[in-house]
Every structure is written in structure tokens, then in C-alpha cells.
Amino acid sequence: MAVYVDDPLWRWAGHRWGHMLADSEEELHRFAALIGIHRLLYQGPPKTSAPHYDITGLERARAIRAGAIACNREQIVAVFRRVKVKNGKVHRPRRHAPAEVRRIA
């Protein structure tokens, strides 16, 4: 089993964020706990297609020191496709405004 982290590219809340994925969800949670990432930060089905944690650059450095594999964008996308849960993300149809609201607008 392996854990993978990509470069933190996304800016949000004063940090740069990346992703941490693993070959199994069990391994992902075990590794997150090992490096001090709280389970509340987990993102998985039905809200996302693949189980993962969003991590900061500091958490990425801890993960690599603990044995995670550093990946570039293409490599992490390949991992994402491999661990993606079939029918994981629930796509909800867009709701249209009620007819009376549409007439007013």
C-alpha cells in the first residue's frame, strides 16, 4: 500500500493546498492519523469521486517525511483515476426556479 501527495497549488485561507490519496481508504485514514491530520478533514463519496484529504504544504512535508510518495499533477491524476469510487460523487440535477418566479424575472 502507498500514500501519494501532490504539490500544493491551490490558494485558500492563506495557505496553498494539495491532495493526499492512498491505494485504500483504510490506509489513507491510518496515514492521516499518523501525521496528525484530523478525520474531519476527510473528503470522500458521496461528495467527491475519490477518497482524499486536502492538505497544506506543511502537512505535505510531514507526509513525505513519513513515507508518502511525492507526485506531480499527471501522477496524482493517475492515482485519482485508480482509486476513484464508481458512482462515488452524486450529481444532482440543477433545479429550475418555479414558473411564477421565472415569469416575474
pLDDT digits (tens, 9 = 90+) for 2-52: 999 999 877 777 778 899 999 999 999 999 999 999 999 899 888 888 999
Residue 89 covered by a domain:
no
SS3 71: strand
Contacts of residue 92, Cβ cutoff 8 Å, sequence gap at least 6: none
pLDDT score at 98: 55
Residue 90 covered by a domain:
no
Contact 8, 60 (CB under 8 A): yes
Residue 103 covered by a domain:
no
Residue 45 covered by a domain:
yes
Residue 60 covered by a domain:
yes
pLDDT score at 104: 54
What residue numbers bound the domain in which 26 lies? 3-83
Count of domains in the chain? 1
Q: Check whether 102 has a pLDDT greater than 60.
A: no
pTM recorded for the entire structure: 0.76
Per-residue cell: 10: 491551490
| Residue among 63, 41, 44, 38 at smallest CA distance from 54 | 41
